[in-house]
Amino acid sequence: MKVSACTFIRNGQILGYPFVESIRSVLPIVDEFVIAVGQSDDDTLSILQSLNEPKLRLIETVWNENMRAKGYVYGQQKMLAQFACTGEWIFYLEADEVLHENDLPIIQASMQQYLHDDRVEALIFDYLHFYGNANTYLWSPGWYRRAPRIIKASVRSYAPDGLFWLVLDSNKHGRYPKAAHSGATMYHYGWVRSEEQMNLKASRVEKYWNKQNAAIDYRDMDGRILREFTGTHPAVMQTYLPKESGLFQVNPAYQPSRKQQKHGWMLKLERWFGLELSKKHYTLVK
């Protein structure tokens, strides 16, 4: 079984992505890692080159600054890396997503188990979206709880944006991939970087999503969806994470937006009726 990993990155250093930690977290279980490295204003490319990692294959790219379709340039960069992969499985890992070392044997076993199972096209992960600090994560149907991150190379797939895949059964119609659970968790750290870095990132990428982002203040969050994290973080993240204690403290006077209020009602429905209402970019194989 040959496994490829892939991602794309641009200005990873100045935008505060833990991209080196992300890469290192998956390297032990892949045969190659293909990275589309966008032309950057920082040392992202040289940092990757300095790793001297034989499994890395770097593809230097130039982003199309004229693309305004929602997230499409992200999908383009994702597919540039994916199309260069040569494995039977393709593991897509975003630059702020990290695997726990304890999950690596579980992921390997799942890929082996489903390699020749034609019902399964992809593998999904549970998600921990950390927020504000390393001790806090968000639990809400407004934040996807599971997502596919591994797909078979034999599947005719493409990415409309960086987050998910569509599978083409014909030239005209796309659908979400049929997926089994990997048995593992994805640790998402995008919202623990500094507010300064997050606001810089938002200002730099908003044009690719054809929208204008409001200034980000971490304290402006619905405190009802914050949960305390009591587990252990991946070993590769120990020097990256801010050293803070306790649950992240939000502004008690903050009034949730209409969208957050909607998600609050959805959360209540989940509790009352045992539902799971978060967005799913996959079809679960029974």
Sorting pLDDT into bands at 50, 70 and 90, what band is 82? very high
- The Cα-based distances of 40 to 43, 141, 179 in angstroms read 7, 34, 35
* Average pLDDT rounded to a whole number, residues 203-221: 83
pLDDT tens for 215-271 read 889 999 999 999 999 999 999 999 999 888 899 999 999 998 898 899 889 989 989
Whether the per-residue pLDDT at 68 is higher than 80: the answer is: no
* Average pLDDT rounded to a whole number, residues 118-138: 97
Amino acid at 156: R
End-to-end CA separation in angstroms for the chain: 24
Looking up tokens 């001297």 gives: 52
Q: For residues 152 and 89, is the Cβ–Cβ distance under 8 A? A: yes
Provide the mean pLDDT of the chain: 93
Sorting pLDDT into bands at 50, 70 and 90, what band is 177? very high
* Average pLDDT rounded to a whole number, residues 66-95: 92
**57 backbone dihedrals φ, ψ, rounded to 5°:** -130, 115
* Average pLDDT rounded to a whole number, residues 201-226: 85
Cα 220 versus chain centre, distance = 23
Q: Which two tokens stand for residue 231?
A: 């587990």
Structure confidence at residue 148 (pLDDT): 97
Q: Is 0.75 topped by the overall pTM?
A: yes
- The enclosing H or E element of 266 equals helix 258-273
Structure confidence at residue 174 (pLDDT): 92
Structure confidence at residue 45 (pLDDT): 97
Q: For residues 32 and 153, is the Cβ–Cβ distance under 8 A? A: no
pLDDT tens for 105-117 read 999 999 999 999 9
Which of 42-51, 57-66, 159-168, 202-211 has the least mean pLDDT? 202-211
Sorting pLDDT into bands at 50, 70 and 90, what band is 171? confident
Sorting pLDDT into bands at 50, 70 and 90, what band is 138? very high
Which of 94-108, 131-145, 189-203, 207-221 has the least mean pLDDT? 207-221
Structure confidence at residue 25 (pLDDT): 98
Residue 50 half-sphere exposure toward CB, CA atoms < 13 A: 6
Q: Report DSSP letters for 155-209, one per residue.
A: S-EE-SSSS--EEESSSS-EEPPEEEEEEEEEEEEEETS-HHHHHHHHHHHGGGG
